[in-house]
Structure 1
């Protein structure tokens, strides 16, 4: 639906982008609020469970990360390149094996927050409307939140809204990585030392903590279809290998489990408070 709306609403201006983002996110929230009015507790539970399942991407994320490591270990770089678009927007043909590992690990870190922790957080806080609205925000950022000629102004609102929606979840993800991800001291040190240098206020936190926990260095020259960026270095170790990518998949799964438990606790606490 957002794709259908983009055509008639697109203008090379920020106000047009604000209207587009507001309409899409408002519609998602309204649908969620109406659906959540089902009259019985079992129906609410089923609706919440189905909606939560539909907006989470953590299982696919871990599966693709593991498949990419398998392909690279088998020296099948073309198979690994074919998986790159499933994780990130980089140009697969510009990446060698080391570049694919780094791209996969950075995307695995960022999407652990975006695809799992953030929707669980907003679901725990705001129920079904929060789940649908957050997924819409994140989808709009992936659609139009680019710094190219078409979207620099029109996509500005979607990109900024995504930054705001992920401020708390990204830091929860960083905390869970520190607690569950391996080397706690290095994860926290990388967070404090390196995260603020990343161009994204949220991706820097999760990528830095993953790098520290795994003992690797992320960042550097990054090629996208719209151009090349020189990203700051995160962490203080060697370049990641396929073994580190597999370790990152394990960390991601632990973080996802911790986030699910936290979201359930928050939702239960808010439900009891509302009942009183």
Structure 2
């Protein structure tokens, strides 16, 4: 229970740190991981899935292994010492808080989306186009104001899962190493998980691992968007009807749920790096997004994030309680009868 309690305190503190401080401005560990992954890519790159799988294993395994070693050094021990229970929990709680703050990006996502929305509200289309690449890789100069609004809403939906909920889910499942592995895989997918000629084979493993690790967080994000949004039935309907047609197994549910919850029509034609894609329309009965919808998407994202923290911490605490109860029961069965037993 000490580990569960320390995790709860640490994850809540890290979430609060992200809420108040956003991402570290300098020396961000995720940026350092990206630089190291880039150097390793230059050494290992071959136009082959095996080379990419090795790159992915070394990068994600290295991040998870480092986190596991730090966890082993700081995990509260069951023994007694002069410092008391609370003092033994502090190092692990501090580690959890630091890693949670590092891997979450909810506040930076909200700020970037709000900045684009503010430029659109002010009629500054050029400014909105300059800021859009901070959120997604679409060609901003091919979009009008409503097209930019749609891109921002879709990016907010997808990154609510990628930047917050998915990390919280893996923190609940596997603690600090789970959060580190998820963020490493997600970062690696953004770097090499493309369908470009250079990465179609080399980035295959990173893309598939990101799909696997992102699966539970995407479903929780969609469920919470339906719960917290203004139209729960519309969110559930769009998720059920339209998510499967999306090319991404994880972006589909969250974008469809956000579309239905907000009464918007998302998806359709878009442009990446000069390449035009025709994606399925999500919630076709909704209306086209307008600049005012950016703020609505950000508010929904914040509600989903807060609910995800509550759900994942509750689930982890319940799992630890159940495990402790089973251990205690097993110990009671195995304990030999005492001197006064009848």
TM-score if structure 1 supplies the norm length?
A: 0.97
Which deviates further from its counterpart, 13-22 or 262-271? 262-271
Pick from 313, 316, 329 the counterpart of residue 267 of structure 1.
Answer: 316
Q: Secondary structure at the match of 1:36?
A: helix
Q: Secondary structure at the match of 1:195?
A: helix
Deviation digits for residues 201-229 of structure 1 (CA, Å, limit 9, x no counterpart): 11010000100011110011110016111
Q: What is the CA distance between 1:139 and its match in structure 2?
A: 0.2
Deviation digits for residues 24-43 of structure 1 (CA, Å, limit 9, x no counterpart): 11101100100002153110
In 2, the alpha carbon distance for the partners of 1:271 and 1:54 equals 25
Pick from 7, 20, 27 the counterpart of residue 62 of structure 2.
Answer: 27
Q: Residue 247 of structure 2 corresponds to which residue in structure 1?
A: 199
Q: Residue 257 of structure 1 corresponds to which residue in structure 2?
A: 306
Q: Secondary structure at the match of 1:251?
A: helix
| Pairing 1:59-138 to 2, within 5 Å after superposition | 59-138=107-186
Q: Residue 292 of structure 2 corresponds to which residue in structure 1?
A: 243
Deviation digits for residues 165-189 of structure 1 (CA, Å, limit 9, x no counterpart): 1111101011001100110111111
Does residue 230 in structure 1 map to residue 265 in structure 2? no
Q: What is the CA distance between 1:264 and its match in structure 2?
A: 1.2
In 1, the alpha carbon distance for the partners of 2:44 and 2:139 equals 28
In 2, the alpha carbon distance for the partners of 1:264 and 1:106 equals 27
Question: Which structure's CA Rg is the greater one?
Answer: 2
Question: Does structure 1 conserve the Cα–Cα contact (< 8 Å) formed by 2:268 and 2:281?
Answer: yes
Q: Secondary structure at the match of 2:46?
A: coil
Pick from 202, 214, 224 the counterpart of residue 166 of structure 1.
Answer: 214
Does residue 185 in structure 1 map to residue 233 in structure 2? yes
Q: Give the 4+ runs in structure 1 shifted more than 2 A.
A: 269-276
In 2, the alpha carbon distance for the partners of 1:169 and 1:147 equals 23
In 2, the alpha carbon distance for the partners of 1:86 and 1:15 equals 32
Q: What is the CA distance between 1:238 and its match in structure 2?
A: 1.3
Deviation digits for residues 30-63 of structure 1 (CA, Å, limit 9, x no counterpart): 0010000215311000100110011000011111
Q: What is the CA distance between 1:273 and its match in structure 2?
A: 4.1
Question: Does structure 2 conserve the Cα–Cα contact (< 8 Å) formed by 1:14 and 1:157?
Answer: yes
TM-score if structure 2 supplies the norm length?
A: 0.79
Aligned residues between the structures? 276
When the two chains are superposed, the root-mean-square deviation of aligned CA atoms in Å is: 1.1
Q: What is the CA distance between 1:249 and its match in structure 2?
A: 0.5
Gapped regions of structure 2 (runs ≥ 5) = 1-35, 76-87, 328-342
